[in-house]
């Protein structure tokens, strides 16, 4: 089996892929596991090599490019595709699992799999909606191109039924499996209290309501700018609050500029930067926020709940199937967002915590991952009237 990842960043998708790699590496059903990863993504490369040292059947192959380095460069894409195809011809894989943030990412791996007739399994791509009939011509053309790309994988692995349905609209004949993720058990077993976490991080013990946004700093996706706008629109609500923004990303400089240019934001927003361990920031907080424009199954949502902290999220994608209405807000309503932030600590989390412990355990994930990927890929979807099982390879 092969794993293909050409991402140059290390976000939630890459963290999920690491969990999948570990589940396959420890499986007795995997004779050899070949991980293709960019040399320039040092964190991902180091992880893959560490796994290879632990498991003899794991082999790491370095890619001389990232998807970002060949973005919008057809010649670079062609070169990357041919290089990847040459590697695949030497491996003779049963299937290649391709980590895709969207259907247009990891294109070199997807096209190389087609060239070499290697079964391609697309792992957790976010799904675009088709362009509306009245959309500009350029948007309709892009939508048609993407629809063609959705036909390339022989199988999809996605995170929930909402994304499964969206995938089936784009590729009706392609089988889709659902594989929910897990987070480290230390989030639910930690002895770290709010007081000890705040002390360790140098945060005030009393007199401050602490709110944390943890994620890649990318306004279009994670909407840190929406959080800042909500604070500016409701300054009195944040008079005794401290907002921690944890992460890094392409909009980090813009974020710094916005905060530095505003007296209101400078007073209550602290930009923390990237952290290798986010548990102390979750434990120190009264609430975690996730005002994203779109999501799959965000790891920070699971981590926060298991750590006993409420998370307030925008009502997008399928987040309503993971969180109660009291912890959700209409995605463009700043006032509702602020209201939910300050009421969230009163929500009783015990039932949700118990549910998450069962639903997002490592044991469940490993078993489902091995079941999904060690079975042959179905040639066609099963009949629509059959009952859907989230751990099956088929759809309905």
Q: Centre a 10 Å sphere on the Cβ of residue 359 and count the other Cβ atoms it contains.
A: 14
174-213 confidence digits (pLDDT tens): 999 999 989 888 999 989 999 999 999 999 999 999 999 9
The predicted structure's pLDDT at residue 184? 86
- How many Å apart are CA 114 and CA 95, to the nearest integer? 11
Q: Give yes or no for a contact between 267 and 239, defined as CB atoms under 8 angstroms apart.
A: no
- How many Å apart are CA 334 and CA 232, to the nearest integer? 10
Higher pLDDT, 390 or 234: 234
Contacts of 391 (CB under 8 A, 6+ apart): 177, 178, 368, 371, 372
Domains observed in the chain: 2-182+363-374 (3.40.50.2000), 186-356 (3.40.50.2000)
Q: Say if residue 57's pLDDT is above 90.
A: yes
* Beta-ladder partners of 8: none
Q: Say if residue 384's pLDDT is above 50.
A: no
Q: Which of 255-259, 280-284, 317-321, 363-367 has the lowest mean pLDDT?
A: 317-321
The predicted structure's pLDDT at residue 380? 55
Q: Give yes or no for a contact between 70 and 96, defined as CB atoms under 8 angstroms apart.
A: no
The predicted structure's pLDDT at residue 381? 52
User: Could you give the count of Cα atoms lying within 13 Å of 235 in the half-sphere of its Cβ?
Assistant: 7
Q: What is the mean pLDDT of residues 119-145?
A: 87
Burial class (CB in 10 A: 0-12, 13-18, 19+), 68: middle
Q: How confident is the model at residue 137 (pLDDT cuts 50, 70, 90)?
A: confident
- How many Å apart are CA 265 and CA 154, to the nearest integer? 48
Q: What is the mean pLDDT of residues 13-29?
A: 95
Q: Say if residue 389's pLDDT is above 90.
A: no
Percent of the chain beyond pLDDT 70? 95
Q: How confident is the model at residue 388 (pLDDT cuts 50, 70, 90)?
A: very low
The predicted structure's pLDDT at residue 296? 83
The length of the chain, given as a count of residues: 396
The predicted structure's pLDDT at residue 155? 97
Q: pTM value?
A: 0.83
């Amino acid at each position: 089996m092969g794993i293909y990842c050409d991402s140059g960043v290390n976000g939630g998708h890459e963290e999920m892929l690491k969990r999948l790699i570990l589940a396959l590496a420890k499986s007795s059903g995997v004779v050899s596991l070949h991980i293709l990863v960019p040399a320039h993504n040092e964190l991902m490369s180091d992880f893959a090599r560490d796994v290879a040292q632990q498991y003899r059947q794991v082999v790491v192959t370095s890619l001389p490019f990232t998807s970002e380095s060949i973005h919008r460069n057809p010649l670079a894409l062609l070169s990357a595709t041919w290089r990847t195809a040459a590697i695949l011809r030497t491996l003779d894989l049963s299937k290649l699992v391709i980590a895709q943030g969207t259907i247009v990412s990891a294109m070199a791996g997807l096209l190389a799999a087609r060239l070499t007739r290697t079964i391609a399994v697309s792992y957790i791509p976010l799904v675009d909606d088709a362009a509306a009939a009245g959309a500009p011509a350029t948007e309709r053309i892009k939508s048609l191109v993407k629809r063609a790309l959705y036909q390339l994988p022989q199988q999809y692995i996605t995170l929930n039924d909402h994304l499964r349905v969206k995938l089936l609209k784009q590729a009706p004949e392609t089988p889709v499996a659902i594989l929910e993720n897990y987070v480290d058990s230390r989030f639910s077993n930690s002895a770290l209290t709010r007081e000890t976490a705040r002390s360790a991080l140098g945060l005030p013990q009393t007199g401050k309501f602490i709110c944390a946004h943890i994620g890649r700093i990318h306004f279009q996706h994670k909407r840190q700018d929406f959080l800042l706008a909500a604070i500016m629109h409701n300054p009195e609500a944040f008079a005794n609050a401290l907002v921690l923004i944890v992460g890094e990303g392409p909009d980090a400089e813009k974020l710094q500029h916005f905060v530095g240019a505003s007296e209101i934001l400078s007073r209550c927003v602290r930009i923390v930067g990237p952290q290798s361990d986010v548990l102390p920031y979750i434990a120190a907080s009264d609430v975690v926020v996730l005002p994203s424009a779109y999501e799959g199954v965000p790891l920070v949502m699971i981590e926060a709940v298991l750590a006993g902290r409420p998370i307030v999220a925008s009502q997008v994608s399928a987040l309503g199937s993971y969180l109660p209405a009291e912890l959700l807000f209409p995605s463009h309503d700043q006032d509702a967002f602020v209201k939910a932030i300050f009421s969230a600590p009163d929500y009783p989390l015990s039932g949700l915590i118990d549910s998450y412990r069962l639903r997002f355990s490592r044991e469940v994930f490993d078993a489902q991952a091995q079941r999904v990927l060690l079975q042959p890929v179905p040639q066609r979807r099963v009949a629509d009237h059959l009952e859907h099982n989230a751990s099956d390879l088929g759809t309905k």
